[in-house]
Structure 1
Amino acid sequence: MPAPTASSLISCLDVQARIDDITKATGWLGALAEAEAWPQATRFALELSLEEALTNVVSYGFRDSDAVPRIRIECHRLPEGRIAVRLIDNGVPFDPTTIAEPEVPASIEDARIGGHGIQLMRNFLESLAYAREGGENHLTLVAGRPD
């Protein structure tokens, strides 16, 4: 599948490393989805995944960094009705694609709260890709139109 390029860019948004900006970002993406008439499954997958990924960046990405936080979100139109959302930040290097799936607990009492965001993204997205380029994390979330 072709990677997002400058020519496939629909829109972009710069946000701060603040919890309040997560709602701003998902609202922006929802407005794009509405304007572009994305299928509900595509919209849900991307909004949920962006919220999970951005929460991780805001919560942990700048904890051990002296950098002034920069976070950019790009939305790209790909062939065959697919949509890519790329989250770019200058936080500490972190590749979420290397995180192992959580173990299934033996009982509800053994279940752990939290730590399931990446698994949710893997479940709802067509693909999840990471690259570290020029001192920045590039996380690309791709959702496609259902067959």
Structure 2
Amino acid sequence: MLGSLSMEREEQLTLCSRLEDLVLVTPWVDRVVADLGLPVNQRFIIDLCLEESISNVVRHGLANDCNHSVVVRSILHEADGAQELHFVIEDDAPHFNPLAAPVAQIKAAPASIEEIAEGGRGIGLLRKYAGTLRYEALPAGNRLTIGFTLGSLS
């Protein structure tokens, strides 16, 4: 009997910890998913989740200090016809578990963009769209894994 067919493919992007480097994320995501046949809305969701996570690390964890880097790895795992795409974000910022943080509650629709309070909405975004979320405190930093089961994003 043959075992299950399994294959993995991994790619990496290293960013300087500055907001300007976020422009590198979308083209990298596009290259990673180019041959997966994902619809535009799935690519958008993946890109949005990554940019939100990385920008939080850069702005809040590393204070836009380019003496640090943020490493993003993509791992495509295929087994038995199912595909899972995981993005692993590693940094050397102080420990912060975004999965333990509260999600901001919106009480009423804001009348203008100026009324929108900053903070906490990105975590809700990740919880809504990612298939799996895992956080690990590293000896000198953080590792956040965001997983997507391909074909099930909406």
Band of TM-score, shorter chain: 0.7 to 0.9
Q: Which residue of 1 aligns with 2:13?
A: 13
Distance 1:100 1:86 in 2: 22
Pairing of 1:41-60 with structure 2 (within 5 A): 41-60=41-60
**What TM-score comes out, normalization by structure 2 length?**
0.78
Q: Does 1:142 align with 2:147?
A: yes
Q: Which residue of 2 aligns with 1:97?
A: 99
Aligned residues: 139
Superposed CA RMSD in Å reads 2.4
Q: Which residue of 2 aligns with 1:123?
A: 128
Which structure has the bigger radius of gyration?
Answer: 2
**What TM-score comes out, normalization by structure 1 length?**
0.81
Query: 2:75 is aligned with what amino acid?
Result: H
> CA distance change for structure 1 residues 81 and 39 in 2, over 3 Å: closer, same or farther?
farther
Deviating above 6 A after TM superposition, structure 1's stretches of 4 or more consecutive aligned residues are: none
Distance 1:8 1:96 in 2: 27
Contact 1:85 1:142 in 2 (8 A): yes
Per the TM alignment, residue 15 of structure 1 is displaced from its structure 2 partner at its CA by 0.7
> CA distance change for structure 1 residues 140 and 20 in 2, over 3 Å: closer, same or farther?
same
Q: Does 1:83 align with 2:85?
A: yes
Distance 2:101 2:75 in 1: 25
Alignment deviations for residues 8-64 of structure 1 (CA, whole Å, 9 cap, x no partner): 34210111011121110222112211233334454222211100001101111123x
Secondary structure of 1:27's match? helix
Query: 2:136 is aligned with what amino acid?
Result: A
Alignment deviations for residues 58-99 of structure 1 (CA, whole Å, 9 cap, x no partner): 111123x9x931211000012421100011101111110011
Distance 1:68 1:76 in 2: 26
More strand by share: 2
Distance 1:108 1:41 in 2: 26
Distance 1:108 1:143 in 2: 31
Q: Which residue of 2 aligns with 1:3?
A: none
Secondary structure of 1:96's match? coil
Identity of aligned residues (%): 22
Unaligned segments of structure 1, at least 5 residues: 1-6
Query: 1:138 is aligned with what amino acid?
Result: R
Unaligned segments of structure 2, at least 5 residues: 1-6
